[in-house]
Amino acid sequence: MKTVAVIAARMGSTRLPGKSLMPLMEVPMLERMVERVQRSKRIHEIVIATTTRESDNPLVVWAEKYGVRYFRGSEEDVLGRIAGAVEASGADIAVELLGDNPLVHADLIDDVVDFYNTNTFDYVVSVTNEHKDAGNGAARFPIGIRVEVLSQAVLARCAKLAADPYYRENALSYIYHHPETFTIGYFQAAGKWAGLHRPELNFAVNYQENFDLIEQLFRLCYPANPEFDLFEVVRAYDAHPELVDWMGVPAALR
């Protein structure tokens, strides 16, 4: 069974243009993320799912230089782009990751994949505040380290059923908004992951402030341990209360 990580990335973000290749400690942010994903023991291949727009050519140049497979599809139809990337890769199992989640870590990926493989769910996700249907009692991870796992067949079924533009743009959201159609497994921040039950935290890079936060966390953690895990991230954040100013979005936009 071939398991492929698909990272959705593009240069045309309206909130932070060019973020995928912004230098994070002198290396493109996407490259830092790929370094962390490559340490997974469950992932056989990584594919960058980008768009056919000319503005995303630099991502293709980077992927070719770095030796990472890529797939180009629609900018608006992210679901179709992800499904196309998975089909082209020959994957049996897909792990969907977001290119603006550079802190996602191999250890979490492996445990979510194992949770999927040892159960019979159509779809498994590391639960955050983005997943309202998970219930009020779910132990939730920070936003920005999300891992989603499903089979190629389920992904193809989702792509066939999801006609609304919202679901085409927001990829796998059709699945967790339709629990009557798909069986869903929520991987919770419990047990060995209880220290990451921090739903108030947001490590996704949508604004410059978010990127500044991630860069500070890398500078705090990376020198001591280039393979720093998510627990080290949270400890570094808690030890530096001044970082709260970069959490979330700019105050003017809240």
DSSP 183-217: -EEEE-S-GGGGGG--TT-B----SHHHHHHHHHH
Helix (H, G, I), strand (E, B) or coil at 227: coil
pLDDT at 18: 96
* Amino acid found at 207: Y
* CA 33, 173, 10, 140 torsion-angle sign: negative
153-192 pLDDT, tens digit per residue, is 999 999 999 999 999 999 999 999 999 999 999 999 999 9
How far, CA to CA in Å, does 133 sit from each of 40, 84, 167, 254?
Answer: 28, 27, 16, 24
Locate all alpha helices (DSSP H) within the chain, ordered by sequence: 29-37, 57-66, 78-89, 106-117, 152-161, 165-169, 173-176, 208-221, 230-239
pLDDT at 14: 85
Helix (H, G, I), strand (E, B) or coil at 145: coil
99-114 pLDDT, tens digit per residue, is 999 999 999 999 999 9
pLDDT above 70: residue 251 = no
Mean pLDDT of 65-86: 97
> For residues 224 and 243, what is the distance between their CA atoms, to the nearest angstrom?
19
Supply the CATH classification number for the domain 3-206. 3.90.550.10
> For residues 1 and 31, what is the distance between their CA atoms, to the nearest angstrom?
26
Q: Which residue has better confidence, 155 or 251?
A: 155
118-151 pLDDT, tens digit per residue, is 999 999 999 999 998 888 899 999 999 999 999 9
Place of tokens 């953690």: 221
Query: CB of 65 within 8 A of CB of 24?
Result: no
pLDDT above 80: residue 249 = no
> For residues 224 and 219, what is the distance between their CA atoms, to the nearest angstrom?
9
Cβ-based neighbour number of residue 139 at 10 Å = 18
HEC profile for 117-144? Answer: HCCCCCEEEECCCCCHHHCCCCCCCCEC
**Mean pLDDT taken over the chain:** 95
Pairing of strands 123-126, 69-73: unpaired
Query: CB of 34 within 8 A of CB of 74?
Result: no
Domain residue limits, the chain: 3-206
pLDDT above 80: residue 238 = yes
% of the chain with per-residue pLDDT over 90: 91
